[in-house]
Amino acid sequence: MDLLNTLVEKGLRRELPTREEALAVLATSDDELLDVVAAAGKVRRQWFGRRVKLNYLVNLKSGLCPEDCSYCSQRLGSKAEILKYTWLKPDEASKAAAAGVAGGAKRVCLVASGRGPTDRDVDRVSQTIQTIKEQNEGIEVCACLGLLSEGQAERLRAAGADAYNHNLNTSEATYGDITTTHTYADRVDTVHQAQSAGMSACSGLIAGMGESDEDLVDVVFSLRELDPDSVPVNFLIPFEGTPLAKEWNLTPQRCLRILAMVRFVCPDVEVRLAGGREVHLRSLQPLALHVVNSIFLGDYLTSEGQEGKADLAMIADAGFEVEGAGTTTLPTHRADALEAAGAAGGCGGHSGGGCGPCGDGAPADTAATCAPTGGCAPAPAAVPAADQARTDLVAVRRRGAGTDLPPNA
């Protein structure tokens, strides 16, 4: 296809596609899907080879959020029966992080529900960051704490935070449809604060909330302009007890097209396959590795993910390799710009699960059976027809942080 050849050439030159080209990727047919993945794969290999970066989420504080984000199981008024607990102690968080590091994770993402941290919260998280770094040499730490107030980004950076996540989630035009307690501009401002403090910015989207192709292209073009170093792509898990419980709009093919479009628009950025991949990509997850260069290992914030061992096997079977701790993730031109910005104490125009969605939970009535490992797995269920919601693939997290059971890593 002339379209794909053009997009590959632009991606290799780091040239921005047109909006029409991005929309055309989303409009391709199933017959063209493998060609789309192969074209995006050429761009991915140019900048990231066959490496896959592993990231690990630690939910520092779960549930009880005053914000009303429609997609989130931790939102105000959520009926989802997720784990609810207040702040983990630094040693508890470090122990949880160590499980991910042992599984091969290169970055630990510290996430806390809420509108944004108080100064006391920043002190608490700063101590947690320092503890994790003291006990895990060379590990990257990303914080995801909500909207930042003046001076908080600098304090997190001084404590050792390498990155800060705050997702745009959807287009500016439709943002008010999913959240009313803060604005799209608030989110953009927090990403700018992280960049100005010299942290690597991580900002992405959630697909599957009923948005149009135009909305998807809008948010990805906005991310390109914001210039984060990593872009997590989340796929909505429509759990019971939230306003988006009935939004089952994604197919594996649709997810792959979305990922390819993101890669073409953000060719040299760490594109991370984040929450919802197991639910919506299902058996096509390995194909996504040809487009993305980063995934979350194990469980998410409020829902369980694929077993960590299965993640590692998938990467190896697909012909990829886990990125080692001594390897620089970003291409040289981006890594050099980030290092210079950090040394200067600011980030200028450049900066990136949150770390995944704020709350990527699952239906509250999902049945679970305890596995021999002490974790929980979805109870066996009949496979629904292709056009029905696959709630059998979803389970509320009942292990790891905030529990007495070992984590999935």
Active-site entry in 44, 65, 157, 257: 65
- pLDDT tens profile 205-229: 999 999 999 999 999 999 999 999 9
Catalytic hit among 75, 124, 157, 202: 202
Q: Average of pLDDT values for 30-35? A: 98
As a whole-number percent, the residues of the chain with pLDDT over 90 amount to: 67
Confidence of residue 361 (pLDDT cuts 50, 70, 90): very low
From the annotation, which residues make up the binding site?
Answer: 65, 69, 72, 109, 142, 202, 272
Catalytic residue of the set 44, 75, 107, 142:
142
Mode of pairing for the β-strands spanning 376-378 and 368-370: antiparallel
pLDDT by residue (tens digit) across 45-97?
A: 999 999 999 999 999 988 778 888 877 776 666 666 677 788 999 999 999 99
What tens digit of pLDDT does each residue of 265-287 get? Answer: 999 999 999 999 999 999 999 99
In three-state secondary structure terms, 206 is strand
Confidence band (pLDDT; 50, 70, 90) for 353? Answer: very low
Average pLDDT over residues 330-347: 82
Query: Is domain 40-344 in CATH 3.20.20.70, yes or no?
Result: yes
Mean pLDDT of the chain, nearest integer: 86
Of the candidates 69, 347, 355, 358, the residue annotated as catalytic is 69
Domain boundaries of the chain, sorted by first residue: 40-344
Residue 31: count of CB within 10 angstroms of its CB: 7
**Who has greater pLDDT, 341 or 27?**
27
Give the pLDDT score at 378: 38
Residue stretches of the annotated binding site for [4Fe-4S] cluster: 65, 69, 72
pLDDT band at 389 (very low <50, low <70, confident <90, very high): low
How large is the average pLDDT for residues 98-112? 95
Is 144 part of the annotated catalytic residue set? no
Active site residue 65: yes
Q: Provide the 10 A C-beta neighbour count for residue 281.
A: 22
Report pTM.
0.87
pLDDT of 371 reads: 35
Select which of 72, 347, 355, 376 is catalytic.
72
CA–CA gap between residue 153 and residue 333 (Å, rounded):
24
What is the rounded distance in angstroms from the CA atom of residue 368 to the CA atom of residue 398? Answer: 9
Catalytic-residue membership of 272: yes
pLDDT attached to residue 117: 95
- Known catalytic membership, residue 202: yes
Q: What is the pLDDT of residue 20?
A: 98
Question: Given this model, what pLDDT does residue 266 score?
Answer: 98
Catalytic residue among 109, 144, 355, 376: 109
Q: What is the pLDDT of residue 345?
A: 62
User: What is the reported pLDDT for 382?
Assistant: 43
pLDDT of residue 305: 84
pLDDT tens readout for residues 156-210? 999 999 999 999 999 999 999 988 999 999 999 999 999 999 999 999 999 999 9
* Residue 355 a catalytic site member: no
Question: For position 79, what pLDDT does the model report?
Answer: 67
Residues making up the binding site for [2Fe-2S] cluster: 109, 142, 202, 272
Angle of helix 184-196 versus helix 152-159 axis, rounded to 10: 40
Among 124, 187, 272, 399, the one annotated catalytic: 272
Q: Residues 196, 198, 199, CA angle at the centre, nearest 5°?
A: 105
248-280 core/surface letters (b: 16 or more CB in 10 A; e: else): bbbbbbbbbbbbbbbbbbbbbbbbbbbbbbbbb
